[in-house]
Amino acid sequence: MECTRLDQTESTVDVTAPEPRGCLATFVKWLGVLLRPSEEDSGNDELPYRLTRNFLSPAELSFYKVVIRVLPSDITVSIKPRLADVLFVPRDAPSRWTLENKIRSKHVDFLLCSVETMKPLLAIELDDKSHDRSDRSERDEFVNRAFAAAGIGVLHVRVKSGYVPEEIRAQIQAALEKSTSSMTVAASTDAVPICPNCRTPMIQRTAAKGPQKGNIFWGCKNYPHCRITLPPH
């Protein structure tokens, strides 16, 4: 048998030979693979991630193609951001953790943002038949209220097989006007100003660095989520 035959003609063993040959060598190599430390194995292993085939559903893709055609050049669209990427709950809000949990795994279909600053301007939801279910309409109601509290409107567009660009343009324009007008909050005249974004009392801080170093200003207690500052009275 070829596999068990050893070469007996050489009286010395060549230690410079790079690799042993034959079936025994193959077995030793195979054993070496089995005995390799598991850390090495995990380094070479492919991770079990696969590409999502339907990142956008056909309805979402069809709508997206219309939206990017009708948006003005200073507005862009973000796709499926989580609510927790866009909204936060101020530190002193009651039930803060519960409310933060409620936005952790929810997302909106589209979010229109300023190209210059990526400031969110308007959320858009594509409503298919599932939105008629009671659990879904509860979810929609919560999302509407959450964005409304942050001064952002939610435009609900019914899923269709095709969209008329001019109709979508008009709907977006009307919703944007409504959304941005609700962002304007009257300035507070109280001794302790209220953050116009978080609607919580601000705190007095002293600039620790920069050209304003040593100067007193009003800062939001939700920094760094909210970076609004006001000059001292």
Contact set with Zn ion (CB under 5 A): 195, 197-198, 220, 222, 226, 228
Pick between residue 66 and residue 198 the one whose CB is nearest to Zn ion. Answer: 198
Pick between residue 175 and residue 226 the one whose CB is nearest to Zn ion. Answer: 226
Pick between residue 179 and residue 197 the one whose CB is nearest to Zn ion. Answer: 197
Minimum Å gap between C-beta 228 and Zn ion is 5
Find out whether 175 and 169 touch, Cβ atoms under 8 Å: no
Residue 203, both tokens: 């705190």
Minimum Å gap between C-beta 92 and Zn ion is 11
Pick between residue 168 and residue 195 the one whose CB is nearest to Zn ion. Answer: 195
Minimum Å gap between C-beta 97 and Zn ion is 19
Distance (Å, whole) CA 162 – CA 206: 56
Pick between residue 107 and residue 221 the one whose CB is nearest to Zn ion. Answer: 221
Task: Please report how the helices 165-183 and 58-70 are oriented relative to each other, as an axis angle in degrees rounded to 10.
Answer: 70
Is 110 in a helix, a strand, or coil?
Answer: strand
CB atoms within 10 A of CB 12: 5
Pick between residue 122 and residue 198 the one whose CB is nearest to Zn ion. Answer: 198
Dump strand ranges (E) for the chain: 75-79, 110-114, 120-127, 153-158, 203-206, 216-219, 229-230
Minimum Å gap between C-beta 205 and Zn ion is 13
Q: Cis peptide before 120, with omega less than 30 degrees from 0?
A: no
CB atoms within 10 A of CB 61: 11
Minimum Å gap between C-beta 204 and Zn ion is 14
Minimum Å gap between C-beta 101 and Zn ion is 21
Pick between residue 176 and residue 195 the one whose CB is nearest to Zn ion. Answer: 195
DSSP string, 72-104: -TTEEEEES-BHHHH----TT-TTHHHHHHHHH
Distance (Å, whole) CA 146 – CA 87: 8
Minimum Å gap between C-beta 73 and Zn ion is 30
